[in-house]
Amino acid sequence: MFKICALNESSSEAESDTEQTQVETKEAQEAHLLDLYNKALQQLVKEDKTGAKTNLLEITSSSLFQSGEGSEQIQKTLRYNVHKNLGECFMEECDYQKAEDHFFEASQIDRTDVTLWFQLASASVKLGNLHNMRGALEEGLNCSPNHWPCLENLIAVSFKLTDNFGCLCYCAMALERDPSNQKAIEFKSKVYMEMPFMQEYMKDEDFVPIPVERETYYYLPPEPPIRPMLEAPLESLTLEGLGQFLLAVYDKAEGELIINLVNNAKVLEDHHTRIKEREEARIKVSVQNLVEEMMDIVE
């Protein structure tokens, strides 16, 4: 007996089977990624940073992780923790650029973790990215207004970036929370000592700056490269010989080389050496000729 069904019914069954297979495949992939992450966590507990980093990098290279598909657990929770833990692994290896990149990726997923922002600031300061550091610290302070490490480092980095008004504002925030905060008092004093008009502008005449060392800035230019000295053969110690020598030097010098020094000592040494060699050659020829003449006489 033949079974006859509509074409659209067959197509629907096939599509349903395909969708079911895709769901099962994604579930298997997600389970594998979670398994890798759990292994990485166990390795981190055992201080095996290298093994943990290998498993975490394998997660980031998976197609499911890169595609942005999958469950919320994979695309948010797992992605956040993988990037954060990779940042910590790279910090341990002093690879601050990769650490900064992974901390930043994590911060784009969850912006509420003050510890993450402080870690990002720590990586940025190692790279000399002071503006990135200040941005991360400001985000951290927004997450936790009473986070002292963020606030105190904002005081210092604002002063370093010559943002004196910002520095004074962060000092005011710190002193509002703790009137005896030494760091805020010191940096506030530095700003007022270098720019006394700021104290009047901030309407802070009652504050008495404490003696602090002035901030000094200096820059030593790099040592210039050693310029090669100019040389040419000097045929004779005469005005004509000197002229020929200078022309030979000029022909060899190109561009800025023309301002280089002439190696006078080497030129004179070579000249005397050539004179000596010529004299010795002349004497040798004369002696040889004399010997030949004596041999002719004897014969």
Which SS3 state, helix, strand or coil, does residue 262 take? strand
Q: What is the average per-residue pLDDT within 192-205?
A: 89
43 and 190 fall within a common domain = yes
How far out from the chain centre does Cα 125 lie? 10
172 and 39 fall within a common domain = yes
Q: Which of 174, 201, 228 is the last residue of a domain?
A: 201
- Residue 224, in any domain of the structure: no
- Residue 239 pLDDT exceeds 80: yes
What rounded mean pLDDT belongs to the chain? 82
38 and 139 fall within a common domain = yes
- Residue 209, in any domain of the structure: no
34 and 145 fall within a common domain = yes
Q: Note the pTM of the prediction, 2 decimals.
A: 0.62
pLDDT at 7: 37
pLDDT at 179: 93
Domain enclosing residue 281, as ranges: 239-289
- Residue 15, in any domain of the structure: no
pLDDT at 183: 92
pLDDT at 120: 96
How far is residue 114's CA from residue 142's CA, in Å, rounded to a whole number?
Answer: 8
The per-residue pLDDT for range 1-51, each reduced to its tens digit, is 333 334 344 445 445 445 544 445 778 878 888 888 899 889 888 888 888
Q: What is the average per-residue pLDDT within 194-219?
A: 82
- Residue 208, in any domain of the structure: no
> Quick one: which H or E segment has residue 18?
helix 7-45
The per-residue pLDDT for range 134-162, each reduced to its tens digit, is 999 999 999 999 999 999 999 999 999 99
Q: Which of 104, 180, 176, 115 is nearest to 141 (CA)?
A: 115
- Residue 228, in any domain of the structure: no
- Residue 113, in any domain of the structure: yes
Number of domains in the chain: 2
Beta bridge partners of 233: none
pLDDT band at 287 (very low <50, low <70, confident <90, very high): low
Q: Which of 154, 184, 201 is the last residue of a domain?
A: 201
**Domain CATH code at residue 59:** 1.25.40.10
- Residue 217, in any domain of the structure: no
114 and 171 fall within a common domain = yes
127 and 256 fall within a common domain = no
Q: Best-predicted range by mean pLDDT among 21-35, 180-194, 210-224?
A: 180-194
For the beta carbon of residue 134, count every other beta carbon within 10 angstroms.
22
- Per DSSP, helices labelled H in 130-217 are 130-143, 148-160, 164-177, 182-194, 197-201
pLDDT at 106: 94
- Residue 217 pLDDT exceeds 70: no
Q: Which residue has the higher pLDDT, 259 or 189?
A: 189
Q: What is the average per-residue pLDDT within 58-68?
A: 80
pLDDT at 1: 36
58 and 139 fall within a common domain = yes
pLDDT band at 299 (very low <50, low <70, confident <90, very high): low
44 and 144 fall within a common domain = yes
48 and 145 fall within a common domain = yes
138 and 259 fall within a common domain = no
41 and 187 fall within a common domain = yes
Q: Which of 149, 173, 201 is the last residue of a domain?
A: 201
- Residue 171, in any domain of the structure: yes
283 and 174 fall within a common domain = no
- Whole-angstrom CA distances from 227 to 98, 223, 258 are 40, 12, 11
pLDDT at 66: 76
